[in-house]
Amino acid sequence: MDNTENQSTLDRIKQQIEENPILLYMKGSPKLPSCGFSSQASQALMSCGEPFAYVDILQNPDIRAELPKYANWPTFPQLWVEGELVGGCDIIIEMFQQNELQPLIKETAEKFKEEE
């Protein structure tokens, strides 16, 4: 794999993270997750009641390969909020259980609704 391909994948990742204030990189889709961790993470996010973007890394092997290096986070799912990596499944579930995820997602969604 040469650098140009590599670069465009990173550019896509950066663009996705910039353009989507709430973004979940996962295996499968929220409706049809293909791993338990992605399922739990997307369930928690959906419970927050705000729309969020997702990228199915199984359909995007280049992103699957590059994102862990870019994020410095080895596993999926990955939740990004406002360009910052929040974390993976354990962190998402923990935040959800401690009622920290809901306000974060709601405030972010509100903020970006106002900007539109």
Residue 88 lies in domain = 10-108
Tokens of 30: 């929220």
54 lies in a domain? yes
pLDDT of residue 59: 97
69 labelled ligand-binding:
no
Residue 5 lies in a domain: no
Instruction: Check the annotation: does 90 bind a ligand.
Output: yes
**3-class secondary-structure state, position 29:** coil
Burial code of 29-68, b = ≥16 C-beta within 10 A, e = fewer?
A: bbeebeeebbbbbbebbeebebebebbbbeebebbbebbb
pLDDT in tens, 17-69: 999 999 999 999 999 999 999 999 999 999 999 999 999 999 999 999 999 99
Question: DSSP assignment, residue 28?
Answer: B
pLDDT at 116: 66
State the CATH number of the domain containing residue 17. Answer: 3.40.30.10
Sign, CA torsion 104/106/107/110: positive
Q: Is 64 within any annotated ligand binding site?
A: yes
Q: Is 113 part of any domain?
A: no
Q: At what angle do helices 36-47 and 89-97 cross, to 10 degrees?
A: 30
pLDDT at residue 3 tops 90: no
Are the beta carbons of 44 and 92 closer than 8 angstroms?
A: yes
So what's the pLDDT on residue 1? 47
- pLDDT attached to residue 4: 62
Residue 114 lies in a domain: no
Domain tally, the chain: 1
Q: Is 76 annotated as a binding residue?
A: yes
pLDDT at position 101 over 80: yes
Residue 48 marked as a ligand binder:
no
115, part of any domain: no
Q: Is the model more confident about 56 or about 113?
A: 56
- 12 labeled part of a ligand binding site: no
